[in-house]
C-alpha cells in the first residue's frame, strides 16, 4: 500500500479507538507532559491554544497581564535579596530602592510610573547586573529580562497584551491543568502537571490514566543552573534524575515517549561564554560545540533508558524553542505524524507477512511502505525518516527540529 492508504487505514484505527467504532467522529489523543519546573511545558500548552484555538479568553489575558508584572517585581526582589545576602555593594540610589523593594509584597505590587522609575534605577546599576549573573538562572529570569526590555510598552495606557507577552509570562503550574483543542481531525487533551519537587509527588496519580503518549521536557540552557529544590546539582542533573524515575516506572510501558530538548536558542548563546565541560562533568569535547554538547546530553538520556527494566519501543528526541511560534505548527505536525505511525505499528495495519522457504514468517514494518519501496528501488539510508529501528527494545530514535530522524540529534541550522 502507498502512504495515503496507510494513513487512511490508521485514521480508521484511531477513530475506532476514540469513538467506539464510529468512523465519522474525531479520533481522541490524550498526551501527558512531564518535566521539572520551568522547562517549557506550560509554554507548549499556550502554543497549542494559540495554534488551534486561535486566541485566549479575556480572563486569561488579564491573568497573564498580572503574571507579567509579577515576573518583574518578584524577579527583581529575588535579586535584591541575593545581593543583600552576599553583601554585594550596590550604588547609593540602587541600594535605597533595593531596601524599599524588599519591604514590599512583590506579588501584589502594581507597576506604576513611579515604581517603574525605581526599578529602572536597579536595572541600570552595574552591581545589580553583577548580582543577577551571580545568582544565575532562576524561574523568573527570562520573563524578567523580557519585561524590563519592554517596560515602556507595558506602561503605555493603550498597551495590549501580545501573544509573545503571553508566551513569555512565567506561570507556576499546580495540580493538573488541561488544554483541549482539535487538530488534524483529532480531539487532543494535553495534561500539564507541576514540575517542582512538591508537585512531582502527584505524577504517580496522573500516570495511572490512559495516555496516547508522554512528552518529557528538558531545558538545554539549564546545564549550569542551580536547583531551587533540595536536589544537589544542576537543573540538568535533576532533569536526568527525574527522567530516570520516569523510565523505571512500571505504569504503561508501551506508551510512546518524546523528549523535547527546549530553549536551544538560549543554549546556543550561553555556551559561547559558559563552559559546558565545567558543569557537565562527563562531557570531554570542545566548549562551544553546539552539536557535540547536545549529542552528549542526548546520550545521557539514552543511558537512563538502558537502565529501565521495561522494554521500550522507542524514545524520540527533538531540539526545540517553545517560544518560536513560526516553527511550533510544524513541530506538532511532526509529532502527530509520529503518533499515526506508532498507532499503525500497534494495530498491525502496516505489517505484511511473507513466508520464507523454511516456512518461517517475516515481517516488514510500515517504514517500507513508501511509494518508492519496490523491489527495484534503492535501499533507504540509515538516516531515513521514521526508521523502523525504534521497535527494538531499548532503541532510541533522535529527532531533528525539521523532521523525525534516527540516530543523531540534528538541528535546522
Instruction: Please tell me the least confidently modeled range out of 171-175, 257-261, 333-337.
Output: 171-175
Residues 6+ apart with CB under 8 A from 363: 351, 352, 353
Radius of gyration of the chain measured on its C-alpha atoms: 24
Which of the given ranges, 221-225, 259-263, 348-352, has the highest pLDDT on average?
Answer: 259-263
**In degrees to the nearest 10, what's the CA dihedral of 174, 175, 180, 183?**
80
Q: Bridge partners of 34? A: 216
Look at residue 210 in the predicted model and tell me its pLDDT: 76
CA distance 68 to 75: 11
Look at residue 135 in the predicted model and tell me its pLDDT: 79
Residue 406 backbone class (left: φ over 0; alpha: ψ -120 to 50; beta: rest): beta
Look at residue 314 in the predicted model and tell me its pLDDT: 67
Which stretches of 62-212 are assigned E, i.e. beta strand? 176-183, 186-193
Look at residue 246 in the predicted model and tell me its pLDDT: 83
CA distance 413 to 401: 9
1-15 per-position pLDDT tens digit: 443 443 344 444 444
Contact 174, 199 (CB under 8 A): yes
Look at residue 285 in the predicted model and tell me its pLDDT: 94
pLDDT over 70 for what percent of the chain?
69
Give Cα 93 to chain centroid, integer Å: 40
H/E segment holding residue 152: helix 151-155
Q: Which residue has the cell 544542576?
A: 234
Instruction: Please tell me the least confidently modeled range out of 90-94, 369-373, 385-389.
Output: 385-389
Give Cα 292 to chain centroid, integer Å: 20
| pLDDT band with cut points at 50, 70 and 90 for residue 17 | very low
Q: What is the mean pLDDT of the chain?
A: 75
Look at residue 133 in the predicted model and tell me its pLDDT: 83
pLDDT over 90 for what percent of the chain?
25
CA distance 328 to 325: 5
Tell me the H-state helices in 271-407.
Answer: 276-279, 290-307, 325-347
Instruction: Give 215's DSSP letter.
Output: E
Mean pLDDT for 293-307 is: 92
H/E segment holding residue 413: none
| pLDDT band with cut points at 50, 70 and 90 for residue 367 | very low
Residues 6+ apart with CB under 8 A from 394: 305, 306, 308, 311, 312
Mean pLDDT for 166-181 is: 80
Give Cα 35 to chain centroid, integer Å: 8
Contact 47, 328 (CB under 8 A): yes
| pLDDT band with cut points at 50, 70 and 90 for residue 202 | low
| pLDDT band with cut points at 50, 70 and 90 for residue 203 | low
CA distance 25 to 231: 47
CA distance 339 to 368: 17
Length of the chain, in residues: 413
CA distance 220 to 110: 33
pTM metric for this prediction = 0.72
* Residue 386 in grid coordinates: 521514521
Residues 6+ apart with CB under 8 A from 168: 68, 142, 143, 146, 147, 323
pLDDT at 394 over 70: no
Burial 42-67 (b: 16+ CB within 10 A, else e): bbbbbbbbbebeeebeeeeeeebbeb
Look at residue 61 in the predicted model and tell me its pLDDT: 85
Strands 315-319 vs 213-219: parallel, antiparallel or unpaired = unpaired
Amino acid at each position: 500500500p502507498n502512504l495515503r492508504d496507510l494513513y487512511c487505514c490508521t485514521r480508521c484505527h484511531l477513530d475506532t479507538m476514540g469513538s467506539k467504532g464510529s468512523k465519522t467522529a474525531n479520533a481522541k489523543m490524550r498526551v501527558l507532559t512531564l518535566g521539572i519546573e520551568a522547562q517549557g511545558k506550560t509554554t507548549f500548552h499556550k502554543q497549542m491554544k494559540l495554534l488551534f484555538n486561535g486566541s485566549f479568553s479575556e480572563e486569561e489575558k488579564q491573568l497573564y497581564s498580572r503574571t507579567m508584572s509579577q515576573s518583574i517585581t518578584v524577579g527583581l526582589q529575588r535579586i535584591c535579596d541575593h545581593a543583600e545576602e552576599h553583601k554585594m555593594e550596590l550604588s547609593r540610589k540602587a541600594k535605597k530602592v533595593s531596601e524599599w523593594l524588599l519591604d514590599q509584597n512583590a506579588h501584589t505590587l502594581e507597576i506604576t510610573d513611579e515604581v517603574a522609575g525605581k526599578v529602572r534605577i536597579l536595572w541600570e546599576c552595574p552591581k545589580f547586573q553583577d548580582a543577577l549573573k551571580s545568582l544565575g538562572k532562576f524561574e523568573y529570569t527570562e520573563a524578567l529580562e523580557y519585561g524590563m526590555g519592554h517596560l515602556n510598552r507595558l506602561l503605555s495606557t493603550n498597551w495590549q497584551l501580545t501573544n509573545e507577552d503571553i508566551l513569555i509570562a512565567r506561570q507556576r503550574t499546580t495540580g493538573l491543568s488541561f488544554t483541549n483543542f482539535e487538530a488534524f481531525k483529532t480531539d487532543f487533551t494535553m495534561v500539564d502537571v507541576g514540575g517542582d519537587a512538591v508537585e512531582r509527588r502527584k505524577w504517580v496519580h496522573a500516570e495511572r490514566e490512559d495516555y496516547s503518549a508522554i512528552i518529557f521536557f528538558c531545558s538545554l540552557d539549564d546545564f549550569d543552573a542551580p536547583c531551587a529544590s533540595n536536589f544537589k546539582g544542576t537543573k540538568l542533573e535533576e532533569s536526568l534524575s527525574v527522567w530516570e524515575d520516569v523510565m523505571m516506572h512500571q505504569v504503561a510501558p508501551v506508551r510512546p515517549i518524546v523528549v523535547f530538548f527546549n530553549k536551544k536558542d538560549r543554549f546556543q548563546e550561553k555556551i559561547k561564554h559558559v563552559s559546558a565541560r565545567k558543569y557537565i562533568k562527563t562531557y570531554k569535547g570542545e566548549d562551544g560545540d553546539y552539536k557535540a554538547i547536545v549529542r552528549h546530553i542526548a546520550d545521557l538520556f539514552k543511558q537512563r533508558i538502558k537502565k529501565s527494566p521495561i522494554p521500550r519501543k522507542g524514545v524520540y528526541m527533538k531540539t526545540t524553542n517553545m517560544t518560536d511560534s513560526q516553527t511550533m505548527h510544524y513541530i506538532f505536525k511532526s509529532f502527530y505524524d509520529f503518533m499515526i505511525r506508532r498507532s499503525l505499528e500497534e494495530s498491525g495495519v502496516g505489517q505484511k507477512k511473507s513466508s520464507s522457504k523454511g516456512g518461517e514468517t517475516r515481517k516488514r514494518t510500515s517504514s517500507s511502505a513508501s511509494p518508492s519501496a519496490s523491489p527495484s528501488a534503492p535501499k533507504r539510508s540509515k538516516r531515513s525518516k521514521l526508521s523502523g529501528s525504534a521497535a527494538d527494545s531499548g532503541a532510541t530514535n533522535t529527532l531533528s527540529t525539521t523532521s523525525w530522524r534516527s540516530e543523531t540529534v540534528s538541528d535546522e541550522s
